[in-house]
Amino acid sequence: MPAQIQWSAVQQYVEGLVPPRHPQLQRMEQEAHKLRFPIIGPACGQLCYQLARMIGAKRVFELGSGFGYSTAWFARAMSENGQGQVFHVVWDETLSTQAREHLSAMGLDPFVQFRVGEAIAALRDAEGPFDIIFNDIDKEGYPEAFPVIESKLRVGGVMIVDNLIWHGQVLDERDREASTMAIRLFTEQVVKSDRWISNLVPIRDGLLVATKIAEMARVP
């Protein structure tokens, strides 16, 4: 019988399979580790990049973009797809400035629109539809964000949402924290909707990947 697999060992193995990254991305990873700043990490970044390439995405909207780490993966896909724009939205001017510097250092800033503001409101005001919408805002906001995402994503588009395992807290039925409850509610909203085909990819902290298949619920 095989030995019980350790979660941390699996994550380390998966990250080790990610191809060599741009030196600036590696510097961002080091900075995030030093400051304990949350980023999606290389394995999730590679998946985001792959999905954007797979569907030929040209319009990507990020709710909660941090200092531009996830943006860089999407922007790389835009550059290789030949055109496109990633909407980098963050609440803090300093983070936006850092993101501009990081993306400029990689030569990817022409593929990014930088906006400072509240992410859900920014998406609500943005002109859709989008090919990919990435969601990594405060977890309590996930249920509120879902209908806005649904209205702005094209049919056939992909929604990517981070932290659906939430450090294992969603597995503990006794955990009633607001963030945990919001993630559970959001997950239920997606997986029970007939507008979506979804899967929870258990890399890092859980990345939900869902394809929008209909504008309206199908009539039985």
- Supply the pLDDT for residue 215: 82
- Is residue 220 included in any domain, yes or no? no
pLDDT at residue 219 is higher than 50:
no
> What's the domain count of the chain?
1
- Is residue 126 included in any domain, yes or no? yes
- Which CATH number does the domain housing residue 177 bear? 3.40.50.150
Lay out the sheet containing 130-135: strands in order across.
112-116, 85-90, 59-63, 130-135, 153-161, 207-212, 196-201
Looking at the DSSP bridge assignments, the partners of residue 211 are 158, 197
- Is residue 1 included in any domain, yes or no? no
- Is residue 217 included in any domain, yes or no? no
Q: What is the pTM of this model?
A: 0.94
- Is residue 133 included in any domain, yes or no? yes
77-136 confidence digits (pLDDT tens) = 999 999 999 999 999 999 999 999 999 999 999 999 999 999 999 999 999 999 999 999
The whole-number average pLDDT for the span 131-146 is 97
- Supply the pLDDT for residue 165: 96
Residue 39 burial class via C-beta count within 10 angstroms: exposed 0-12, middle 13-18, buried 19 and up: buried
Looking at the DSSP bridge assignments, the partners of residue 159 are 133, 210
- Is residue 102 included in any domain, yes or no? yes
Residue 3 CA to residue 9 CA, distance in Å, equals 12
Backbone angles phi, psi at 217, to 5 degrees: -60, 140
Nearest Cα neighbor of 67 from 45, 30, 96, 46 is 96
Residue 212 burial class via C-beta count within 10 angstroms: exposed 0-12, middle 13-18, buried 19 and up: buried
- Is residue 121 included in any domain, yes or no? yes
- Is residue 2 included in any domain, yes or no? no
Q: DSSP string of 123-162? A: HHHS---EEEEEE-S-GGGHHHHHHHHHHHEEEEEEEEE-
- Supply the pLDDT for residue 216: 61
pLDDT at residue 2 is higher than 70:
no
171-211 confidence digits (pLDDT tens) = 999 999 999 999 999 999 999 999 999 999 999 999 999 99
Grade residue 217 by pLDDT with cuts at 50, 70 and 90. Answer: low
Nearest Cα neighbor of 53 from 29, 95, 84, 26 is 84
Grade residue 7 by pLDDT with cuts at 50, 70 and 90. Answer: confident
What residues contact 83, with CB distance under 8 A and at least 6 apart?
58
Angle subtended by helix axes 41-54 and 23-35, to nearest 10: 140
Q: State the residue range of the domain holding 91.
A: 7-212
